[in-house]
Amino acid sequence: MRLLSPALCASPGPARRGGVTPDSSVKSPIEMWSTNSTEKFYRIPEGKGPHSVGCTDLMTENAVEGSFLRLYYPAYDATDIEEARWIPDKEYYQGLSDFLNMYRVVGERLFHYYVGSVTCPAKSNAAFKPGEKYPLLVFSHGLGAFRTIYSAICIEMASQGFIVAAVEHRDESASATYYCKRRSVSESQEESPPNMEKEWIYYRKLKTGEEERCLRHKQVQQRAQECIKALNLILRINSGEEVTNVLHSDFDWNSLKDSVDTSRIAVMGHSFGGATVIESLSKEIRFRCGIALDVWMLPVGDDIYQNSVQQPLLFINSEKFQWAENILKIKKLISNDTNKKMITIKGSVHQSFPDFTFVSGGIIARFFKLKGEIDPNEAIDISNHASLAFLQKHLSLKKDFDQWDSLVDGIGPNVIPGTNIDTSPAEPE
């Protein structure tokens, strides 16, 4: 399952915008290796809300059919607890290398050098902060991504009083993921929990002659089911049910009992994860609304457009990624529903949403198109503030997020309503 693909979190093929081209030489990453080491010292932004944030990983049994997610949550302030590692295993470097069409030996060395010491500003396994019922947000990652690399978004939401379940998909759309299986008695037990070993799953590229839409539609259906499984899992924990975490963390899952507001649940995702949001809304009415960040519409089935998404839906697009065919599909889904909105962040690129935009210096950012013309912190603030305002309205939250209501209508600095893409029919020559 070792595979190659052109662009992190972007849709492949001619419609892709802002990605690394398939014929990119590995010479450039090697040259970047020799750049000034100060390039690597960048920081994922902390949450701006009133809560400290903790995070922990949860993997259920049942091998590949089980759930795997990173939970971000309001936590007690704990200065003595270390922040979580951003990319927790070297196999993720290998998967990213495959996905970006680099030799693994080059990519792994490059990623380790630049981001191997990066942590996300959430305390690993910090004590959960009970005392109120928090709304639940399920997050779906993009193509070639995985559960940890949207931490700037997830941490901000948790700091504002959400419990966020960031799913790691096992449909072979992640750069890498794994499940735990029982090891043979003769094998080492040093790195995994006793009697368990990691079975890695890497990104699957298209086979020769395979139709992409067919594969992606099949994957998006699995992804939606994984989001619904994550929802069910968190609600089981909320009800007080004992759940086995095969990762054996120190986190006290019993502390989550009766802490989820089961009437206020939403789903959010980026790119392929945006398509997953749409599919999830169509299948699960408990998701009261959804937010699709720079959505890739190819995986969405034709049946979805026939009034199968009744819930409110916010599309937040970058300026540089979208194209006419994709926008026309978004408009078809929005139709005349005033609870479905689309806005565009000026100067942003497809990679303005994942964390790589914050941890890359100039050369790396230019090579992989990780930064747009807008400051990355301003772009993510616009996205997060619009998301919070939308969530307040449609989850009936008693917060002050309505201060950003204008952003949902595309009014404000560096944001426009609708799209910057011309979707009018071409004039005949």
Catalytic residue IDs: 271, 294, 350
Sign of torsion over alpha carbons 273, 278, 279, 282: positive
| Angstrom distance (rounded) from CA 88 to CA 409 | 38
Pairing of strands 289-293, 260-270: parallel
Q: How many CB atoms lie within 10 A of CB 73?
A: 27
DSSP string, 230-292: HHHHHHHHHTT-----TT--S--GGGGTT-EEEEEEEEEEETHHHHHHHHHHHH-TT--EEEE
The CA–CA distances, whole Å, from 227 to 192, 257, 273, 347 equal 26, 20, 10, 31
Pairing of strands 52-59, 68-75: antiparallel
Q: Which two tokens stand for residue 413?
A: 């600095």
367: alpha, beta or left? (left if phi > 0; alpha if psi -120 to 50): alpha
- Three-class SS state of 201: strand
Q: Which two tokens stand for residue 358?
A: 């914050």
| Contact partners, residue 302, CB within 8 Å, separation at least 6 | none
CB 279 within 8 A of CB 224: yes
CB 145 within 8 A of CB 167: no
| Angstrom distance (rounded) from CA 130 to CA 287 | 23
Furthest CA-CA distance within the chain: 72
Q: What are phi and psi of 313, to 5 degrees?
A: -150, 130
CB 98 within 8 A of CB 143: no
